[in-house]
Amino acid sequence: MTSLETAKAAVKALDSKKGMDIALLNIGGITTIGDYFVVASGSSTTQVKALADEVDEQLSKLGLQPKRLEGYQSANWILLDYYEVIVHIFLQETREFYSLERLWADAPRVDLTGLVTGD
């Protein structure tokens, strides 16, 4: 499974649980920490945890386990590190504060047409 396929699987998992403002950033050309960032928001800490649980469950079904999981207790910002793909799930206010997409503005966005429902 390629890193892009892993990232798209994470996007689909987030979308299935109504993750908001899902973005897929191709960071491979500008850093060595990974190939893709998947970024999404939840409206409450409960939803942020549910989104993280869904990503973990769906990627586990594909035989993938995160090498690191951070932020689950507070659920303001949960990070799931799948080596080449790093999933960031934010509480909406926390995402706005840290503005990850602005910090990584040089990273091209991957078109998610057909992957997210847009609800």
Specify the CATH number for the domain of residue 60: 3.30.460.10
The whole domain housing 25 covers 3-103
CA distances from 34 to 3, 6, 28 (A): 9, 12, 6
Q: What is the pLDDT of residues 46-104, one digit of tens each?
A: 999 999 999 999 999 999 999 999 999 999 999 999 999 999 999 999 999 999 999 99
Q: Is residue 8 part of a domain?
A: yes
Q: Is residue 48 part of a domain?
A: yes
Q: Which of 31, 35, 33 is nearest to 10 (CA)?
A: 35
Q: Is residue 118 part of a domain?
A: no
Q: Is residue 108 part of a domain?
A: no
Q: Is residue 99 part of a domain?
A: yes
Q: Is residue 96 part of a domain?
A: yes
The whole-model pTM stands at: 0.95
Number of domains in the chain: 1
